[in-house]
């Protein structure tokens, strides 16, 4: 049996993996998407199911006004003495010399909660994790941010003791490790085995130069020695490998004593006229999660089986019995439940019943119009990840706009500065119309330069579809669900990728989403009713 990478498709970066008995869990970053932290579960390392978002209450996370790609960075999930420990960072500033990132700790006896009130730890840097030492002491390790001019901002890895009794950090922090010349030292995870403390860190930046390094010491106060022979994991030197951006991960052992390393990766697309090497490619699915098998040499240094680039197909654990899950989301969601499917998320905040309702019109998801897709505060916007390069998404919508400030429809969204939407809007001449708008690096335009498409007065519903076909995607509309019209514009999927946005903005760490939105600039909050949502991979 084989593990096929990526194991978590679509935007699921910075994996923190832990085993409790015979069950594995992976926590991944969610950035500005609510609720915070995705946790997947597996019994065989091959098949994974999204089971919970632990940061589902405002007492645990409030991202109101957080910038694009702010919010929850690199959560750390651990298990000790019958409790789960979850460390997470809420980043309030992304561009410039400061991060203003707050690290929190919550605990629970069950992965499904309830979770304790958060303990605020520090704001010294992001990517924090908790190490449980054999003597019962606990230590927080985190990226150490340096805001000073003429200094590299990634100072190293900070270590601070944590008192569980006092529920706070104690003593003076110290620098555990400063990394190698690749710099950008982050994503620390600390382990103790073979008589050493092993520190796994990401370096090189979470781009195509990404890598994972390993260092070790006999004591936490000793100098950590870097593993000789180059990075433990990297794909910087293999541009044609199916796995790219490899780095930033964590270690887990199996009941049989084997070792595996979960790490982030990317799968780039290219335009026909581009080199596959420069630019290296575009990853609209964002940074995903893979797993590699690990072996230890006679000097007790770890190595990736198959070489430092990792493999797409990885040997499954000995004795593993394959456990396949039912899909967590059906192809067609008719919104017959009173609870939103776990694969849908909103931006920054939970949406209360006066914004999102599955009860006000049974069999429909109702979104009461709020702010535009450019807002970092209150969007009536529900979406799910792109998880394939080839898929169709479709909605059936009943909407009655009466003003140019009102519109609703189907979105493909990266952040407030990069998105597109096929929408029903209102026009002074025609009344209800179909329009297609796009924002590219903050500049908004309409596909229909002359006049939009009128909606027949007899159409109670309109149908919108997006066909994603690799590096391009295209919208369609219908008034009867039989005769479809293709919008005369192909959108570039690359423009919903980290790589494209990073050319202008420092922070771009998420991925493309597809979903439903309702906007009402008048404040009258008229509803858009969605009868179904289809997501069908091809």
> CA-to-CA distance for 247 and 263, rounded, in angstroms?
6
What is the distance between the alpha carbons of residues 241 and 307, in angstroms, rounded to a whole number?
A: 12
What residues contact 434, with CB distance under 8 A and at least 6 apart?
422, 423, 424, 425, 452, 453, 454, 455, 462, 477
DSSP state string for 353-403: TTTEESSSSTTSEEEE-BB-TT-SS-BEEEEEE---SEEEEEEEEEE---S
Q: One of 127, 186, 398, 492 is an active-site residue; which one?
A: 186
SS3 category, 502: helix
If phi > 0 it is left, if psi is from -120 to 50 it is alpha, else beta; for residue 421 that is beta
Whole-number Å distance between alpha carbons of 16 and 12: 11
Rounded Cα gap, residues 348 and 391, in angstroms: 26
**What are the tokens at 228?**
């000789």
- The yes-or-no answer on residue 315 being catalytic is no
Indicate the SS3 state at residue 500: helix
Q: Which two tokens stand for residue 507?
A: 């922070």
Cα–Cα dist 80/66, whole Å? 32
Q: Tokens for 37?
A: 């932290």
Tokens found for residue 482: 């039989």
Q: If you ran DSSP here, which 8-state letter would residue 498 be given?
A: H
DSSP 424: E
Using the 8-state DSSP alphabet, how is residue 33 labeled? E
| Strand blocks (E) in 470-509 | 472-478, 484-492
Active site annotation includes 506: no
Q: Which of these, 505, 537, 530, 206, lies nearest to 383 by C-alpha position? A: 530
* Rounded Cα–Cα distance for residues 73 and 89 (Å): 5
Of 503, 505, 518, 533, nearest in space to 373 by CA: 518
Exactly one of 14, 76, 90, 492 is catalytic; which is it?
14
Length of the chain: 538
Task: Give the sheet arrangement for strand 119-122, strand by strand.
Answer: 71-80, 83-91, 101-108, 119-122
The sign one gets for the Cα dihedral 45, 307, 283, 183 is: positive
In DSSP terms, which residues pair with 292 in a beta bridge?
A: 261
Catalytic residues: 14, 186
């Amino acid at each position: 049996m084989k593990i096929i990478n990526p194991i978590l498709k679509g935007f699921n970066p910075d994996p923190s993996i832990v085993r409790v008995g015979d069950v594995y869990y992976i926590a991944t970053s969610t950035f500005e998407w609510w609720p915070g932290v995705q946790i997947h579960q597996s019994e065989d390392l091959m098949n994974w199911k999204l089971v919970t978002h632990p940061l589902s209450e405002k007492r645990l996370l409030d991202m109101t006004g957080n910038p694009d790609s702010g919010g929850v960075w690199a959560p750390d999930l651990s298990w000790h003495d019958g409790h789960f420990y979850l460390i997470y960072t809420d980043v309030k500033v992304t561009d410039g010399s400061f991060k203003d990132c707050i690290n929190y700790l919550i605990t629970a006896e069950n992965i499904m909660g309830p979770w304790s009130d958060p303990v605020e730890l520090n704001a010294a840097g992001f990517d924090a994790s908790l190490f449980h030492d054999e003597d019962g002491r606990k230590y927080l390790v985190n990226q150490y941010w340096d805001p000073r001019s003429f200094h590299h901002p990634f100072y190293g890895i900070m270590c601070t003791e944590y008192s569980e009794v006092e529920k706070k950090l104690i003593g003076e922090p110290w620098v555990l490790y400063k990394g190698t010349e690749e710099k950008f030292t982050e994503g620390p995870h600390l382990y103790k085995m073979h008589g050493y403390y092993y520190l796994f860190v990401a370096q090189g930046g979470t781009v195509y130069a990404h890598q994972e390094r390993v260092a070790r010491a006999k004591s936490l106060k000793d100098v950590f020695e870097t593993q000789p022979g180059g990075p433990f994991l990297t794909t910087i030197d293999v541009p044609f490998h199916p796995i790219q951006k490899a780095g930033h991960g964590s270690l887990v052992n199996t009941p049989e004593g084997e070792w595996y390393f979960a790490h982030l990766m990317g799968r780039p697309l290219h335009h026909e006229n581009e080199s596959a090497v420069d630019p290296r490619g575009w990853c609209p699915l964002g940074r995903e999660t893979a797993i590699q098998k690990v072996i230890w040499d006679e000097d007790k240094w770890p190595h990736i089986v198959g070489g430092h680039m990792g493999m797409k197909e990885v040997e499954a654990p000995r004795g593993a019995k394959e456990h396949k899950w039912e899909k967590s989301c059906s192809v067609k969601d008719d919104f017959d439940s009173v609870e939103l499917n776990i694969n849908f998320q909103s931006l920054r905040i939970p949406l209360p019943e006066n914004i999102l309702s599955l009860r006000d019109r049974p069999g429909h998801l109702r979104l009461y119009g709020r702010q535009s897709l450019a807002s970092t505060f209150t969007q009536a916007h529900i979406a799910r990840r792109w998880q394939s390069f080839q898929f169709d998404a479709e909605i059936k919508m009943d909407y009655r706009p009466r003003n140019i400030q009102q519109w609703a429809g189907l979105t493909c969204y990266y952040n407030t500065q990069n998105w597109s939407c096929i929408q029903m809007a209102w026009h002074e001449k025609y009344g209800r119309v179909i329009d297609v708008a796009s924002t590219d690096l903050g500049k908004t335009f309409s596909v229909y330069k002359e006049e939009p498409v009128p909606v027949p007065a007899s159409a109670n519903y309109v149908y919108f579809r997006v066909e994603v076909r690799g590096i391009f995607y295209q919208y369609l509309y219908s008034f009867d669900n039989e005769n479809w019209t293709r919008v005369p514009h192909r959108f570039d999927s690359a423009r919903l990728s980290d790589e494209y946005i990073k050319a202008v903005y420092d922070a771009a760490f998420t991925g493309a989403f597809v979903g439903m939105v309702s906007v009402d600039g008048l404040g009258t909050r008229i509803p858009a009713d969605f009868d179904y949502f289809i997501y069908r991979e091809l």
